[in-house]
């Protein structure tokens, strides 16, 4: 961790020093001319509706002193914006945006749809979501709405339209955040009927669905679409995966319902985004990102401290949603209120996190929140000013970040991240492993990080992208646990290898097809021939077992696959030491050269020693070619 952070700071320093001569001061122009925004923005969530208007200017003055240039406003303020049905009050919001602009502060507007007002849920109780046990959510928290409910969509579209009409051409509104952290599904009968329709559209006939899901098992055969249940967690794997895909499509259409009306009423310069949650797997983020202009996420450490590999990977994941720079829409000002222990980040660590984000391609870092509401569920959360409205100790650090962002902005403007190594990531695979872990310690994200951490230590940058993305730019593509491999992805990977790329498949790869059914070939399914070898048998491990070979030695833990090299060109890279008898002396990693390309399969979850052991010659070459500095090339 220390090594990566030091490397990072060195890089930042080099970047800043190198561009010092080019710096030009940022000046916000008067309201009559088009305002200029800095390339990298420091921001904060601000809730003017929670405070008397007479207080706003004091807060905005302090924000300006801290170098803050963006406030995110409005995402929970529906009851203030529409106090009764069809009666909209947006004047206060107009005044808040205008007050902020006078301090050189731009606004990002949230649509207030995570928190429908009490009049709405009382009048239309059908919009409340239903838990799996059939209970309805009640008013008083947030996200109590049903994402698939037509009435709710009608009402959310109307409020989004009102706000867009009013602020869609306001030069101080940079863009839009739709809703807030999509998460909660609904299991009500109407949503279930929509799911059944969705299945009909996907599978066409029940015969096809029954075959793809192997419903002959346990007499699951369906004779009518209406017989198909919703299952989550434990159920037919084809059904589980279909439900998650339906959920992803439903979030996408929930979002598009608002997005279309904002688009129709706003300046194309205003972006449309939503705030996602890093590794959260409630829906497929690639699906939901498709209609957005910008990917953004909420970066919280929670308990403990910044781990640059874990957090850096989440930045890279988010950057991969749109394959361009992203925003950190929320991050913690020191501490949160929801972790098991809400320790504060150390002095200097908030600053490290801010630059860490910029280094990974963030164009904005925004704190949640400016000041805690005096009442409400999150009273203990970290903030930048205290209950008395004056700075807390962290304020000075935020101010330092503001000063540094302003200085570095001209140099960072227009830059983006370029990587030569990619990690492949798919929600289908993560879900498939999560539903049938086979070893309760097995964590699909942990598996990705086990590859990310050593790779990040030897490469300037990594991309995290889906397995169907174009791969030509990469020297190395690593798929840690590509459990579900669609035919389309298999073709993409085979083509990459045939065109000279190096593909590394990690344990549990290519076991399942696109319907979460077992492949009819052993792993790696459609890539067996290319690899010239396969997995003979997999084993969940009670205890670690030794592994040794060309990469040095380490231990396999949690999972070990017994491999076989069938083709004469397939080499054994690593073998297992003494363990359960079956694995003793058998291949743990194999590789095959294919023209100028190469495919490698690693069958064991290797520990850190095994992963970072003496690199092969191709890794050393890669390392030498890497730019030692972290500057983002133009």
Contacts of 591 (CB under 8 A, 6+ apart): 570, 571, 573, 598, 599, 600, 601
Is the four-CA dihedral 45, 46, 50, 51 of positive or negative sign?
A: positive
Q: Which of the following is catalytic: 49, 75, 82, 330?
A: 330
Q: How far is the CB of 139 from ligand GLA (least distance, A)?
A: 17
Contact 515, 521 (CB under 8 A): no
Q: Which of 82, 181, 185, 574 binds ligand GLA (CB under 6 A)?
A: 181
Nearer Cβ to ligand GLA (369/591): 369
Based on the residue annotation, tell me whether 85 is a catalytic residue of this protein. no
Write phi, then psi, for 243 (nearest 5 degrees): -60, -45
Question: What is the phi-psi region of residue 626: left when phi exceeds 0, alpha when psi lies from -120 to 50, beta otherwise?
Answer: beta
Nearer Cβ to ligand GLA (277/504): 277
- Kindly write out the interface string for residues 358-377 of this chain, putting x where it contacts ligand GLA by CB under 6 A and - elsewhere: ----------x---------
Nearer Cβ to ligand GLA (367/576): 367
Nearer Cβ to ligand GLA (330/571): 330
Q: How far is the CB of 298 from ligand GLA (least distance, A)?
A: 4
Q: Which two tokens stand for residue 150?
A: 């037509």
Rounded Cα gap, residues 12 and 359, in angstroms? 8
Q: How far is the CB of 181 from ligand GLA (least distance, A)?
A: 5
Scan for tokens 């996408």, then name that residue. Answer: 252
Q: Which two tokens stand for residue 607?
A: 């520990």
**Interaction of residue 378 with ligand GLA, rule CB under 6 A:** yes
Q: How far is the CB of 25 from ligand GLA (least distance, A)?
A: 33
Count interface residues toward ligand GLA (CB under 6 A).
9
Write phi, then psi, for 528 (nearest 5 degrees): -60, -45
Contacts of 145 (CB under 8 A, 6+ apart): 113, 114, 116, 127, 128, 129, 137, 152
Rounded Cα gap, residues 202 and 205, in angstroms? 9
Q: How far is the CB of 306 from ligand GLA (least distance, A)?
A: 16
Contacts of 135 (CB under 8 A, 6+ apart): none
Q: How far is the CB of 353 from ligand GLA (least distance, A)?
A: 14
Q: Which of 330, 428, 515, 571 binds ligand GLA (CB under 6 A)?
A: 330
Contact 553, 610 (CB under 8 A): yes
Nearer Cβ to ligand GLA (49/298): 298
Nearer Cβ to ligand GLA (378/521): 378
Nearer Cβ to ligand GLA (56/76): 76
- Three-state DSSP state, 47: coil
Residue 108 half-sphere exposure toward CB, CA atoms < 13 A: 33
Q: Which of 180, 255, 450, 600 binds ligand GLA (CB under 6 A)?
A: 180
Based on the residue annotation, tell me whether 161 is a catalytic residue of this protein. no
Nearer Cβ to ligand GLA (331/429): 331
Q: How far is the CB of 332 from ligand GLA (least distance, A)?
A: 6
Cα dist from 346 to 8, 98, 334, 343, whole Å: 18, 36, 8, 9
Which DSSP letter does residue 83 get? S
Q: How far is the CB of 44 from ligand GLA (least distance, A)?
A: 12
Scan for tokens 């690693």, then name that residue. Answer: 602
Q: How far is the CB of 379 from ligand GLA (least distance, A)?
A: 12
Scan for tokens 């919009």, then name that residue. Answer: 127
Q: Which two tokens stand for residue 112?
A: 């207030």
Is the four-CA dihedral 105, 111, 115, 121 of positive or negative sign?
A: positive
- Three-state DSSP state, 36: coil
Nearer Cβ to ligand GLA (302/585): 302
Nearer Cβ to ligand GLA (126/378): 378
Nearer Cβ to ligand GLA (383/497): 383
Q: How far is the CB of 366 from ligand GLA (least distance, A)?
A: 11
Residue 180 half-sphere exposure toward CB, CA atoms < 13 A: 23
Q: Which of the following is catalytic: 82, 161, 181, 571?
A: 181
**Interaction of residue 428 with ligand GLA, rule CB under 6 A:** no
Q: Which of 199, 336, 489, 588 binds ligand GLA (CB under 6 A)?
A: 336
Rounded Cα gap, residues 77 and 60, in angstroms? 19
Rounded Cα gap, residues 491 and 485, in angstroms? 10
Write phi, then psi, for 320 (nearest 5 degrees): -75, -15
Interface positions, 79-138, toward ligand GLA (CB under 6 A) = none
Rounded Cα gap, residues 587 and 603, in angstroms? 8
Dihedral, CA atoms, 325, 330, 336, 341, nearest 10 degrees?
Answer: -20
Q: Which of 381, 425, 453, 456 binds ligand GLA (CB under 6 A)?
A: 381
Count of beta carbons in the 10 Å neighbourhood of residue 105: 22
Number of residue whose CB is nearest ligand GLA: 298
Q: How far is the CB of 382 from ligand GLA (least distance, A)?
A: 8
Contacts of 9 (CB under 8 A, 6+ apart): 352, 355
- Kindly write out the interface string for residues 503-542 of this chain, putting x where it contacts ligand GLA by CB under 6 A and - elsewhere: ----------------------------------------
- Three-state DSSP state, 386: coil
Cα dist from 120 to 82, 83, 112, 113, 139, whole Å: 10, 10, 13, 11, 10
Interface positions, 263-302, toward ligand GLA (CB under 6 A) = 298, 300
Interface positions, 566-605, toward ligand GLA (CB under 6 A) = none
> 3-state SS of 427-493?
HHHHHHHHHCCCCCCCCHHHHHHHHHHHHHHHCCCEEEECCCCCCCCCCEEEECCCCECCHHHHHHH
Q: How far is the CB of 424 from ligand GLA (least distance, A)?
A: 27
Residues near ligand GLA (CB under 6 A) are 180-181, 298, 300, 330, 336, 368, 378, 381
Residues labelled catalytic: 181, 330
């Amino acid at each position: 961790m220390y090594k990566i952070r030091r490397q990072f700071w060195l890089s930042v320093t080099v970047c800043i020093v190198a561009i010092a001569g080019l710096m030009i001061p940022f000046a916000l122009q008067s309201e009559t001319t088009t305002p200029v925004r800095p390339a990298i923005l420091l921001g904060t969530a601000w809730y003017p509706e929670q405070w008397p208007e007479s207080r706003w200017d004091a807060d905005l003055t302090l924000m300006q002193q801290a170098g803050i240039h963006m406030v995110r406003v409005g995402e929970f303020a529906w009851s203030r914006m529409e106090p009764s049905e069809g009666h909209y009050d947006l004047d206060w919001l107009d005044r808040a945006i205008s007050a902020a602009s006078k301090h050189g502060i731009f606004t990002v507007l949230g649509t207030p749809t995570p928190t429908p007002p009490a009049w709405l849920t009382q009048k239309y109780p059908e919009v409340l979501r239903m838990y799996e046990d059939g209970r309805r959510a009640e008013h008083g928290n947030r996200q109590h709405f049903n994402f698939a409910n037509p009435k709710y969509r009608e009402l959310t579209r109307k409020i989004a339209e009102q706000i867009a009409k009013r602020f869609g051409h306001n030069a101080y509104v940079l863009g839009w955040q739709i809703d807030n952290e999509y998460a909660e599904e609904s299991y009500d009968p109407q949503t279930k009927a929509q799911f059944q329709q969705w299945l009909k559209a996907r599978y066409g006939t029940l015969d096809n669905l029954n075959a793809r899901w192997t419903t002959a098992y346990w007499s699951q055969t369906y004779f009518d679409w209406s017989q198909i249940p919703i299952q989550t967690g434990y159920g037919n794997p084809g059904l589980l995966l279909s439900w998650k895909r339906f959920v992803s499509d439903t979030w996408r259409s929930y979002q598009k319902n608002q997005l279309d009306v904002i688009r129709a009423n706003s300046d194309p310069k205003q972006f449309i985004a939503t705030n996602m949650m890093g590794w959260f797997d409630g829906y497929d983020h690639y699906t939901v990102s498709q209609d957005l202009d910008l990917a953004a996420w909420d970066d919280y450490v929670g308990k403990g401290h910044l781990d640059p590999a874990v957090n850096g990977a989440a930045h890279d994941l988010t950057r991969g949603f749109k394959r361009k720079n992203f925003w950190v829409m929320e991050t913690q000002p020191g501490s949160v209120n929801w972790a098991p222990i809400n320790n504060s980040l150390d002095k200097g660590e908030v600053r490290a996190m801010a630059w860490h984000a910029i280094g990974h391609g963030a164009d904005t870092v925004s704190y949640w929140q400016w000041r805690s509401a005096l009442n409400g569920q999150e009273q203990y959360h970290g903030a930048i000013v205290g209950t008395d409205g004056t700075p807390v100790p962290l304020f000075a650090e935020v101010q330092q970040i503001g000063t540094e962002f302003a200085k570095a902005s001209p140099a960072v403007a227009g830059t983006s991240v370029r990587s030569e190594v990619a990690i492949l990531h798919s929600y289908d695979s993560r879900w498939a492993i999560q539903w049938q872990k086979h070893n309760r310690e097995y964590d699909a994200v942990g598996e990705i990080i086990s590859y990310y951490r050593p790779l990040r230590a030897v490469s300037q940058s990594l991309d995290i992208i889906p397995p169907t993305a174009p791969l030509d730019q990469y020297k190395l593509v690593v798929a840690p646990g590509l459990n579900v491999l669609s035919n389309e992805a298999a073709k993409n990977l085979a083509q990459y290898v045939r065109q000279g790329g190096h593909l590394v498949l990690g344990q549990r790869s290519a076991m399942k097809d696109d319907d979460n059914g077992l492949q009819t070939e052993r792993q790696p399914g459609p890539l067996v021939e290319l690899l010239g070898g396969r997995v003979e048998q997999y084993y969940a491990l009670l205890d670690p077992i030794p592994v040794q070979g060309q990469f040095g030695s380490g231990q396999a833990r949690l999972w070990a696959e017994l491999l076989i090299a069938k083709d004469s060109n397939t080499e054994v890279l690593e073998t297992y030491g003494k363990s359960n008898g079956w694995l003793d002396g058998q291949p743990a990693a194999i590789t095959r050269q294919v023209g100028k390309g190469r495919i490698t399969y690693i069958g064991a979850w290797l520990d850190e020693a095994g992963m970072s052991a003496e690199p092969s010659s191709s890794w050393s070459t890669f390392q030498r070619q890497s730019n030692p500095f972290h500057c983002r090339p133009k």
